[in-house]
């Protein structure tokens, strides 16, 4: 089934006039890299809602593909995780599972309990590619911070060909350079990201839903104030959109 989204639902997008044109979720994500849908069927769990939008990816083997994201203090989190490194501070811009050979294509974030004070900023990776140049990013070799399956797989910051064509992977924590070009590209990426004004989307109300093209957009998380620790966001990875 294809959900139709009106232009009035496309909050915070760069100002454009869509008139009375209606677009499917897939068309909007293809065009803009992500979509925000306000208060979509708040009483239904992500596992039920996700197939409306696309095919659920079981990236965690037999474990539940829907993960509950809750703010965790640094001392209470596993050390090799974002919460273990940043706690309730701001999470930097990243691609989810950037250190995997095949990062999941889309991620769906759904608000169970949210706050307007905690936006989920996004940056369009295509703007970064334009600013830095695809050639440097294509040739920039990086590796995961820790071995995956006992070895370090060499990866590119941008995939120039093949089935992952155009994939931009970014994670300043989990990816490390393995060449001078890799080092240069990472420093250029950091500088460009720091210069850019992100688009803030806020999962504030139950059912608020974001679908993000994880191969194109970088996302972050704003800091979580001490009093808002009961925030709950559900995350589900999708392989393709309907």
Q: Which residues bind Fe ion (CB under 5 A)?
A: 96
Picking from 74, 52, 105, 72, the residue whose alpha carbon sits closest to that of residue 242 is: 52
Nearer Cβ to Fe ion, position 139 or 145? Answer: 145
Residue 42 CA to residue 6 CA, distance in Å, equals 19
Give the 3-state secondary structure of residue 209. Answer: strand
Shortest CB 69 distance to Fe ion, Å? 8
Task: Report which of 77, 46, 98, 75 is spatially closest to residue 208, judged by C-alpha positions.
Answer: 46
Both tokens of 129, joined, read 């590619």
Nearer to Fe ion, 23 or 112 (CB): 112
Q: Shortest gap between Cβ of 81 and Fe ion (angstroms)?
A: 11
Q: Are 128 and 168 in contact (CB under 8 A)?
A: yes
* Residue with the shortest CB distance to Fe ion: 96
State the nearest-atom distance from the C-beta of 235 to Fe ion, in Å.
8
Residue 96 or residue 234: which is nearer to Fe ion going by CB? 96
CB of 219 to Fe ion, least distance (A): 6
Q: Which is nearer to Fe ion, 37 or 233 (CB)?
A: 233
Element (H, E) at 37: strand 34-37
What gap in Å lies between CA 42 and CA 167, rounded to an integer?
32
Q: Which C-beta is closer to Fe ion: that of 135 or that of 200?
A: 200
Who's near 212: CB < 8 A, 6+ residues apart? 29, 33, 34, 106, 107, 108, 109, 122, 219
Q: How far is the CB of 217 from Fe ion (least distance, A)?
A: 11
């Amino acid at each position: 089934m294809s959900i139709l989204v009106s232009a009035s639902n496309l909050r915070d997008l760069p100002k454009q006039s869509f008139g009375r044109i209606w677009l499917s979720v897939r068309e909007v994500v293809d065009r803009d890299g992500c979509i925000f849908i306000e208060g979509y069927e708040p009483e239904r769990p992500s596992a039920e809602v996700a197939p409306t939008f696309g095919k659920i990816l079981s990236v965690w083997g037999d474990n539940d593909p829907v993960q509950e994201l809750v703010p965790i203090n640094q001392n209470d989190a596993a050390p090799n995780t974002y919460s273990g490194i940043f706690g309730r501070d701001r999470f930097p811009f990243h691609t989810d599972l950037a250190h995997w050979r095949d990062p999941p294509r889309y991620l769906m974030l759904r608000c169970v309990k949210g706050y307007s004070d905690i936006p989920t900023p996004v940056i369009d990776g295509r703007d970064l590619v334009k600013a830095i140049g695809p050639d440097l990013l294509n040739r920039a070799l990086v590796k995961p911070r820790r071995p995956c399956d006992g070895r370090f797989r060499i990866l590119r910051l941008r995939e120039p060909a093949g089935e992952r064509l155009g994939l931009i992977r970014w994670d300043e924590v989990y990816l490390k350079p393995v060449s001078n070009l890799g080092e240069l590209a990472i420093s250029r990426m950091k500088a460009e990201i720091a210069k850019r004004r992100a688009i803030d989307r806020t999962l504030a109300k139950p059912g608020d839903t974001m679908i993000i093209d994880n191969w194109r957009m970088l996302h972050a998380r704003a800091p979580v104030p001490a009093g808002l620790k009961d925030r709950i966001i559900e995350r589900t990875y999708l392989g393709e959109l309907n």
